[in-house]
Amino acid sequence: MSAAGRRAELIRILRGRKRDTIDNLAYELGVHRSTIKRDLLTLTVDEGYHIDTLKGNSGGVVFHDRRNPHKGILSQEQIDVLSELAQSTGGYTAKILKEILDAYA
C-alpha cells in the first residue's frame, strides 16, 4: 500500500472509531509504530486534520472531525456497491442510496 493510500485508510479508520492506539493502528495497517507516527504528523501538519495523540492509560490517537463526523467512513468497496445499487434501482430507493453516499462516502 502506498503512503497516500495508507493515510487515507488511517483517516477512514479514525473517522469511524474516533479513538485508537498507535500500536493497534500499526498492527492493523501492517506497519511499524514510527510509520503511524509519521503519518499522523503528516495528516495533522500538511493536510490539516485535527488529530491528537495523548499519553497515558486514557491516551491514544483521537480524531476530531467537527465539520462532518460521519464523512469518509465507508470503504471504497462499500461505496462501489452502494453506487451500483443506486444505478440499478430507481425512484425513492435510488434517492436514499445517493443520500447515504453523500453523507458517508
Query: Which domains, ranges and CATH numbers included, belong to the chain?
Result: 3-64 (1.10.10.10), 74-105 (no CATH)
Report pLDDT for 37. 93
Q: What is the pLDDT along the chain (105 residues), one digit of tens a residue?
A: 899 999 999 999 998 888 899 999 999 999 999 999 999 999 988 888 888 888 877 678 998 876 555 677 888 899 999 999 999 998 999 999 998 988 888
Number of H helices, E strands in the chain: 5, 3
Cell triple for residue 54? 495523548
Q: Classify burial at 17, counting beta carbons within 10 Å of its beta carbon; exposed 0-12, middle 13-18, buried 19 or more.
A: middle
Beta bridge partners of 81: none
| Buried b or exposed e, range 38-59, using 16+ CB within 10 angstroms | ebbeebeeeeebebeeeeeeee
Contacts of 87 (CB under 8 A, 6+ apart): 94
What pLDDT score does 25 carry?
A: 95
Residue owning grid cell 501538519: 45
pLDDT at 1: 82
Is the entire prediction scored with pTM above 0.85?
Answer: no
